[in-house]
């Protein structure tokens, strides 16, 4: 699936703000919006489905080739349209569940569309991955999976999510995407004065904590069990949002590494390593004598990783920006410095949503490891970073995609690249 942006003669002063347009929806686009066309312009429409005919109100128009709209009336509905499981989300409601009107299986197909188009358009990769469901999600209708939530507080003390496309706090009756331990806190039913936001976290082993602005309440640490190992996460520390995400992603990473093989003596790296999840999972799979370095810029997460990997004699956690750490590695190579078998190494990257970026990708290419496993949470960033890696002499061996954010447009992917 490829979205073609045709150059057309559109008056830059054209403004359809406030107009209601009758549209036929063509396809999905990155960011959870859908594409229609009207009088030579692209109209991005939310909360619809390909094949639907709708009347949509234009809510944003800055002139040029496109504008944005939301549906006012569904004239012809898709057979994949369902009742939204969160009745206070949807058009004009709470944000964070923009795909809730779509059947779960179709949500995954649409995410595959976006990933396929990004890989083709940005990296020249012809591949349509199957987006896999996390264990238990189909049975639960994609609800009750979020172990992390951020709520906001307005001047009146009302607690809730933001209304979509705004900073207006919306009062909600429930938080159906959250795990039960977070829902039971009923923070959305409380009133807080002189507070800006509340961050909620729960573990799979029963701990719960919440952060009111900067003040931590509840359990001091969360405890997680993955791959037979224990991981401790300090208050406010990063962990995957979906309750099964750590298990799913670490499983995919270790399977890809096993398929290629790993040199336990090499300078293996776990970049953007957080609290040491992938380092620990790889050691559980390949032995406690695996040499691996977890690199993370956040001090608290690095301290957690040091504790979580303490029983592994050849694993260590380094607190440093990934770019600076790799710059030192590359500099040592340029000077002929001793680094343990960098060309035989496996490098795992799990960057933030923006991706690793050109500088880090260039540094990885300078090291020339045997195997790269790239964990991504944004299709565009993944495709952008894969292109130079493939041009730099790597072959994409496999790619798996996972639906770890049901009822949203987000999708996770894990790519395995081997040096030719």
pLDDT along the chain (420 residues), means of 10: 42 82 98 96 98 98 95 98 96 96 98 98 96 98 97 96 96 97 96 94 94 91 96 88 97 98 96 98 97 96 97 96 95 66 89 96 96 97 98 98 98 97
Q: What is the pLDDT of residue 12?
A: 55
Q: What is the pLDDT of residue 3?
A: 42
Among the listed residues 8, 67, 319, 377, the single catalytic one is: 377
Selecting from 3.40.50.2000, 3.40.50.150, 3.40.50.20, 1.10.10.10, what CATH number does the domain 112-138+244-419 have? 3.40.50.150
Cα(145)–Cα(250) distance, rounded to whole angstroms? Answer: 18
Catalytic status, residue 67: no
State the DSSP code for 86. Answer: S
User: Domain 1-80 adopts which CATH fold?
Assistant: OB fold (Dihydrolipoamide Acetyltransferase, E2P) (2.40.50)
Q: What is the pLDDT of residue 334?
A: 65
Q: Tokens 């069990």, residue?
A: 225
Q: What is the pLDDT of residue 4?
A: 42
Q: What is the pLDDT of residue 223?
A: 96
Domains 1-80 and 112-138+244-419 agree in fold: no
Q: What is the pLDDT of residue 5?
A: 40
Answer yes or no: pTM beyond 0.85: yes
Closest CA to 419 of 382, 392, 385, 384: 392
Distance of CA 288 to the CA centre of its chain: 29
CB proximity list for 153: less than 8 A, separation 6 or greater: 159, 169, 192, 195, 196, 197, 198
Distance of CA 348 to the CA centre of its chain: 16
Whether the Cβ atoms of residue 43 and residue 54 lie closer than 8 Å to each other: no
Q: What is the pLDDT of residue 238?
A: 85
Domain ranges of the chain: 1-80, 112-138+244-419, 148-224
């Amino acid at each position: 699936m490829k979205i073609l942006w045709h150059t057309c003669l559109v008056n830059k002063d054209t403004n359809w703000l406030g107009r209601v347009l009758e549209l036929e929806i063509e396809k999905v686009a990155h960011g959870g919006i859908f594409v229609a066309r009207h009088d030579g312009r692209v109209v991005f429409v939310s909360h619809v489905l390909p094949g639907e005919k709708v009347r949509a109100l234009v809510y944003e128009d800055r002139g040029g080739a496109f504008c944005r709209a939301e549906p006012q009336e569904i004239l012809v509905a898709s057979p994949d349209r369902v009742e939204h499981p969160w009745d206070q989300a949807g058009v004009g409601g709470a944000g964070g569940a923009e795909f809730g009107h779509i059947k779960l299986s179709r949500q995954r197909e649409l995410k595959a569309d976006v990933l396929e188009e990004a890989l083709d358009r940005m990296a020249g990769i012809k591949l349509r991955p199957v987006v896999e469901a996390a264990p238990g999600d189909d049975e639960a209708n994609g609800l009750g999976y979020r172990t992390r939530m951020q709520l906001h507080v307005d001047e009146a003390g009302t607690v809730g999510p933001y209304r979509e496309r705004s900073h207006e706090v919306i009062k909600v009756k429930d938080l159906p995407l959250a795990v039960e331990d977070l829902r039971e806190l009923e923070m959305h039913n409380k009133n807080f004065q002189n507070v800006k936001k509340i961050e909620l976290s729960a573990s799979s082993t029963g701990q719960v904590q919440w952060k009111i602005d900067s003040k931590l309440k509840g359990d001091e640490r969360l405890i997680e069990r993955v791959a037979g190992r224990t991981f401790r996460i300090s208050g406010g520390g990063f962990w995957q949002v979906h309750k099964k995400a750590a298990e799913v992603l670490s499983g995919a990473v270790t399977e890809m590494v096993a398929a290629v093989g790993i040199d336990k003596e090499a300078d293996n790296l776990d970049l953007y390593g957080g609290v040491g999840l992938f380092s620990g999972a790889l050691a559980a799979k390949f032995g406690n004598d695996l040499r691996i370095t977890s690199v993370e810029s956040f001090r608290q997460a690095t301290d957690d990783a040091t504790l979580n990997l303490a029983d592994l004699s050849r694993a260590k956690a380094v607190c440093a920006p990934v770019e600076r750490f790799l710059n030192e590695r590359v500099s040592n190579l340029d000077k002929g410095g001793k680094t343990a078998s960098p060309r035989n190494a496996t490098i795992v990257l799990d960057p933030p949503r923006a991706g690793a970026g050109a500088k880090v990708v260039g540094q990885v290419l300078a090291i020339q490891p045997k195997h790269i496993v790239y964990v991504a949470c944004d299709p565009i960033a993944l495709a952008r970073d894969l292109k130079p890696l493939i041009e730099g002499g790597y072959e994409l061996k496999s790619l798996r995609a996972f639906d770890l954010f049901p009822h949203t447009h987000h999708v996770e992917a894990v790519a395995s690249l081997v040096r030719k």
